[in-house]
Amino acid sequence: MESSPQMVHERGGQEETPQPQAGPSGASAALAQEIAELWGEHLGSPGVGPEDDFFALGGNSLAGIKIIERVLLDHGVRLSVRDFYLAGTPAKVAELIEQGRAGT
Amino acid sequence: MRLTPGPARDVDLDTLDLFDLDLYSTGDPHPIWDVMRERAPLHHQVLPDGREFWSVTRYEDVRRVLGDHREFTSERGTVPTHLGTDDAAAGVLMTSTDPPRHTEVRRPLNAKLTARAVRSWEDKIRATVRRFLQPALDGETFDLAEQALLLPALVTGPLLGIPEKDWAELVQLTAMVTAPCDPHFLVGSEAATLAISHHELLNYVRDWATTRRADGGEDDSLLHHLMSVRPGGAPLSDEEIALDGYSILLGANVTTPHTVSGTVQALVERPEQYAKAQADPTLIPGLVEEGLRWTSAACNFMRYAVDDVQIGGGTIPARGAVVAWIGSANRDASVFPDPHTFDITRDGAKRHGAFGFGPHFCIGAPLARMTLRIFFEELLDGCASIELAGEPEHLRSYFIAGMTHLPVAAQKRHTP
Ligand code: HEM
């Protein structure tokens, strides 16, 4: 099982750290938009934005399974199931993908 | 939730919140259901977020809602934690499929789970139960509720074909599904906890099926059996197998432990009933049925009305969600006289609805009954008496009536 060592993985303190005003890099804004569109496709709701909440959009595990598969196909990154659902928004998922690419 | 109710109390049916988790972790729902059966056999509640549901609490109404798929469909979901979100697995998952497709999916699995089929497991299960009880017999304080969470995995793991190394994690995941709000299991938010646990369970069974297909391995297990069934002429896809395996894992893992703990707690509180069963082991099947009725571990299941429907003296509108409170039905005095008395010699205890009614009647009931019978045979044979050795704690869930802690100390029995 992919994420078994993370049974008690909790949201880290990361979100508490104030984001620099400049905002995310261009690359990650584009990626966040791309992920938002992917969610829209699988959640049947066009117009998803980078800061929209997965569960508020009616997201569930069956949609999550498809989205994680697509991210693996399109970006070559296998997201951890837990990280994906705890991330909650396309912008945060984009960050996870970039971390995954950077191998961190 | 408390299984032995406290004194009757006044209930304001208009402001009543049946999804208030405190009611189940520290409160006492039985006196409320008593009032509902009496005064509001059809109850309507709107949640703060606007979702609404109807409740039935009388035995006959609960039986009708769970048993009649023409009036009350399972296809939009059956678990109240998902109220308001249509079940994405409708028509594929056994639990959220109506006949006739349901009959097709269920038949081949059923063949593996009949009373006759599970009898071949008796000796294995007995050996497992003995090992399970050993620390208690050695006189250690034993947190039965905590330990019992592992029992179904020990019992059904080999039957399902799941390797031992994965059991603990699967138990954790199924616990997250059933009680996402319990602090023991919560990860992030309730929604995240549910999604993570569903997802990982589905992944687990699907990966299992994929690996098995690839290596061509064959065994006698239930999951393997799913790979070979052909409902309607075509084999199940890996996704369908994942969904069925998921419901079996869930069904087995989340209810049996709480039936064990709740029944043992009833016996600890009533040493005379314990002594009675010990003196006459032929009473054990009756003890098991009364324990199932008393604990009603699956506290409720949900359906959606197909059309406007008259029930309990009122009307549920078409597409309305209705929660059938099994825990209440099993204390309906018109079926179980003196319902709040735990009596292992009760006549007709077996009419209880702890396993549901009709087409979705628990497919694991024969296995659960046998496991419970063996458990109590071994417990009564091994322990002269059992006492409470700490504070019991109840599960924070309105769906599963269960315990998270039940510390007990046993006196070993020195008999022939
Ligand atoms: C004391 C233990 C158990 C209790 C109280 C219990 C309770 C229930 C109830 C009330 C239902 C009906 C759900 C509905 O009407 O929608 C049900 C269905 C089911 N149970 Fe159990 N169960 C127990 C043990 C087991 C075991 C050991 C297994 C697996 C081997 C299992 C697997 C299932 C499955 C797969 C279903 C769905 C059946 C269908 O939709 O046709 N259960 N259970």
Domain assignment present for A75 = yes
Could you give the 3-state DSSP secondary structure of residue B302?
strand
Hey, are the CB atoms on B195 and A7 less than 8 Å from each other? no
Residue B168: closest CA among A11, A60, A79, A5? A5
Quickly state the pLDDT bin for B111 (edges 50, 70, 90): confident
Instruction: Tell me how many domains chain A contains.
Output: 1
Domain assignment present for A67 = yes
CA torsion angle A17 A21 A22 A24 (round to 10): 40
Give the tens place of pLDDT for each residue, B329-347: 999 999 999 999 999 999 9
With a 6 Å cutoff on the Cβ, whether B79 touches ligand 1 is no
Homologous superfamily in CATH for domain B21-412: Cytochrome P450 (1.10.630.10)
Give the tens place of pLDDT for each residue, B266-279: 999 999 999 999 99
Give the tens place of pLDDT for each residue, B173-218: 888 887 788 888 888 888 888 889 888 888 888 888 888 778 776 7
Nearest-atom number in ligand 1 for the CA of B371 is 27
Mean pLDDT, to the nearest integer, of A40-47?
Answer: 89
Token code pair at residue B106: 């269920």
Mean pLDDT, to the nearest integer, of B351-359?
Answer: 97
| pLDDT reading at B396 higher than 60 | yes
Q: Compute the distance from residue A102 Cα to the ligand 1 centre, in Å.
A: 46
Share of chain B above pLDDT 70, in %: 97
Question: ipTM score of the complex?
Answer: 0.72
| pLDDT reading at A11 higher than 70 | no
Domain assignment present for A16 = no
Mean pLDDT, to the nearest integer, of B46-65?
Answer: 96
Question: Of the spans A57-66, B108-117, B317-326, which averages the highest pLDDT?
Answer: B317-326
Closest CB from A10, A58, A82 relative to B196: A82
Hey, are the CB atoms on A63 and B88 less than 8 Å from each other? yes
Mean pLDDT, to the nearest integer, of B374-399?
Answer: 95
Q: What is the DSSP string of B100-168?
A: THHHHHHHHHHHHHSHHHHHTTHHHHHHHHHHHHHHHHTT--EEHHHHHTTHHHHHHHHHHT--GGGHH
Mean pLDDT, to the nearest integer, of B11-38?
Answer: 95
Nearest-atom number in ligand 1 for the CA of B95 is 40
Share of chain A above pLDDT 90, in %: 50
Looking at residue A104, its pLDDT comes to 62
Looking at residue A26, its pLDDT comes to 53
The CATH number covering residue A64 comes to 1.10.1200.10
What pTM did the predictor assign? Answer: 0.86
Looking at residue B415, its pLDDT comes to 59
- What b-and-e string marks burial along B306-337, b requiring 16 or more CB atoms within 10 Å of the CB? beebebbeeebeeebbbbbbbbbbbbbeebbe
| pLDDT reading at B124 higher than 70 | yes
Q: How far is B167 from chain A (nearest CA, A)?
A: 12
Provide the total of helices (H) and of strands (E) in chain B, helices listed first. 16, 12
> Domain limits at A69?
27-102
Looking at residue B156, its pLDDT comes to 82
Mean pLDDT, to the nearest integer, of B92-121?
Answer: 85
Could you give the 3-state DSSP secondary structure of residue B180?
coil
Hey, are the CB atoms on B187 and A63 less than 8 Å from each other? no
Mean pLDDT, to the nearest integer, of A23-29?
Answer: 61
Domain assignment present for A72 = yes
| pLDDT reading at B128 higher than 70 | yes
| pLDDT reading at A5 higher than 70 | no
Looking at residue B139, its pLDDT comes to 82
What is the CB neighbour count within 10 angstroms for residue B195? 29
> In whole angstroms, what is the distance from residue B226 CA to residue B159 CA?
13
Mean pLDDT of all residues in chain A?
Answer: 77
Looking at residue A21, its pLDDT comes to 38
Mean pLDDT, to the nearest integer, of B14-42?
Answer: 95
- Chain A residue numbers with beta carbons less than 8 Å from the beta carbon of B191 are 55, 85
Looking at residue B172, its pLDDT comes to 85
Looking at residue B247, its pLDDT comes to 79
Quickly state the pLDDT bin for A93 (edges 50, 70, 90): very high
Domain assignment present for A20 = no
Mean pLDDT, to the nearest integer, of A54-78?
Answer: 90
Hey, are the CB atoms on B188 and A86 less than 8 Å from each other? yes
